[in-house]
Amino acid sequence: MLGDRQDADRRSSRDKFFLIATDLRIANGKGWNVAQHAGSTSLVIWESTDLVNWSAPRLVDVAGAIPDAGCAWAPEVIWDPATGQYIVYWATISPRNGVDKARIYYSRTTDFRTFSAPELYIDRPGTQGIIDTQILEVEGSVGGYKYVRASGDGQITIEGSNSILGTWTRLGDLSGIGLTCVHHCAAGRAGIIRKSVIPASSGNLLFQMVRRWVVDQGIPISPGLRARGIQLPLGGVISPVHKDGCPGHPRRS
C-alpha cells in the first residue's frame, strides 16, 4: 500500500495542476534505515484540472540514476523563468566522494512526465547532510534577492539568490532565536525540522514554520508546530498528535 508525505502542489499551465510527494510508507515494518538507504527513488505525482478531482497516483523515478541512491525525499517545485522549465528538487541519501549523507538534487521538467537526469544542487561541507529545502520567489526580500531558500542542515539555514540555479548567499539561520535542527530521531535529543516558508500578504516579511519536537528513547513526547518570522520572531505553538515512529511525520495507510 502506497505511503506518501511532504506534498507540494504546482500549477504547470492554465488548465492543469500537479501534486508531488515522497514515496514513503514507514509503517511497512522495515524501519527508517531501509527507508533511507534502500527505499524508493521515485516521487508520487497526481494531476487535476480543478483541484477537486485528482488522477490516480503515478511514480516517476527521479533519483534512480544517482549512484547507490537510497531515497528521494521532501520534493519541492519552482518555476525557473531563466530556463522556461520547472525545477523539481529533493533530498537523496547516497555515498559521494566517500561520504554517505543527504544532498539536494534537482531535475527539470515542463510536463511532470518527462524529467531531465538528476543533478547535484546543494552539498554541505564534510559529513553535514541537508534536507527539506524550500525556495520562494520574493521580490525585494532580505538583501534585495529575488529568491530566498530555507534548508535543514544542522540549522535552519536561510540563503538568497537572484538565480535559482546560480550562486546562493548565506543570510543566516534560526539559532539566534534559540532554534536548532536535529533531523533524526535520537534518544534524549530535541530539535526542529523545517516545514514551510510562507510570504506575508503584504510587504517583504517571510514566516518560517517549523516542527518542534523532543524525544525520549526514540518516542516523541512533545511534538508541536512553531511559527517564527525570519526577520522578527512571532508567537504560537500548535500541538498535533502523530502516531508513527518519528516526531512530526503524519502517516497514511
- The pLDDT assigned to 173 comes to 81
- Is residue 207 within 8 Å of residue 198, measured between CB atoms? yes
Q: Are residues 134 and 153 in the same domain?
A: yes
Q: Are residues 103 and 180 in the same domain?
A: no
Number of domains present in the structure of the chain? 2
Q: Are residues 74 and 137 in the same domain?
A: no
Cα–Cα distance, 54 to 10 (Å, whole number): 13
User: Of 109, 124, 139, which marks where a domain is finished?
Assistant: 124
pTM surpassing 0.95?
Answer: no
Q: Are residues 10 and 84 in the same domain?
A: yes
- H/E element, 33: helix 31-37
- The pLDDT assigned to 204 comes to 55
Q: Are residues 82 and 170 in the same domain?
A: no
Cα–Cα distance, 158 to 251 (Å, whole number): 28
User: Of 65, 97, 124, which marks where a domain is finished?
Assistant: 124
Which range among 9-23, 43-57, 75-89 shows the weakest confidence by mean pLDDT? 9-23
- The pLDDT assigned to 95 comes to 97
Q: Is the pLDDT of residue 83 over 90?
A: yes
Q: Are residues 159 and 73 in the same domain?
A: no
Average pLDDT, the chain: 76
* Residue 89, beta-bridge partner list: 76, 106
Contacts of 199 (CB under 8 A, 6+ apart): 136, 138, 205, 206, 207
Range of the domain at 44: 1-124
Q: Are residues 161 and 57 in the same domain?
A: no
In this predicted model, what pLDDT tens digit does every residue of 179-219 receive, in sequence order?
A: 665 544 333 444 555 555 555 555 555 555 555 544 433 33
